[in-house]
Chain A
Amino acid sequence: MTREIEAAANIPVVQIATIVPIMLTVGANRIVPGVAIPHPVGNPAAGPEEDRSVRRSLLLRAFTAMTTPVTEQTLF
Chain B
Amino acid sequence: MTYRIVHYTNQFFAGLGGEEKADLRPLVRPGAVGPALGLEQALGGEAVVVATVICGDNYMAENLASATEDVLALIREHNPDAVTAGPAFNAGRYGTACGAVLEKAAAVLKVPVVSGMYHENPGVELYGRNVVLVETGDSARGMKDALAKMAEVTRKLLRKEPLGPAKESGLLPRGIRRNVLHEKSGAERAVEMLLARLRGEPFATEYPMPTFRRISPAPPVADLRKATIALVSSGGVVPKGNPDRIRVSSAESYGAYDISALEDLTPDIYESIHGGYDRIWANVDPDVVIPLDGMRALEREGVYGKLHPVLYTTTGTGTSVAHAERFGREIGAALREAGVDAVILTST
Contact = CB atoms under 8 A, between A and B. Distances in A.
B294 interface: yes
Contact of A26 (B212, B216, B219, B227): B212
A59 B344 contact: yes
Contacts of B314: 1
Contact of A14 (B213, B234, B343): B343
The residue among A2, A10, A60 with the most chain B CB atoms within 10 A of its own CB is A2
Interface of B: 212-221, 224, 227, 229, 232, 234-235, 277-282, 284-285, 287-291, 293-295, 297-298, 303-304, 314, 316, 324-333, 335-336, 340-348
A40 B328 CA distance: 20
A17 to B, nearest CB: 4
A11 B218 contact: yes
Interface of A: 1-18, 23, 25-27, 29-30, 34, 37-45, 51-52, 55-56, 58-60, 62-63, 66-74
A8 B217 CA distance: 12
Contacts of B316: 1
B293 to A, nearest CB: 7
B278 A29 contact: no
A12 B217 CA distance: 7
B235 A40 contact: yes
B291 A38 contact: no
A74 to B, nearest CB: 8
A27 B294 contact: no
Contact of B344 (A16, A39, A42, A73): A16
19 contacts: A3-B215, A6-B218, A6-B343, A7-B329, A9-B332, A9-B336, A10-B218, A11-B221, A27-B214, A39-B281, A40-B235, A42-B287, A42-B291, A44-B288, A45-B281, A51-B288, A56-B294, A59-B298, A66-B220
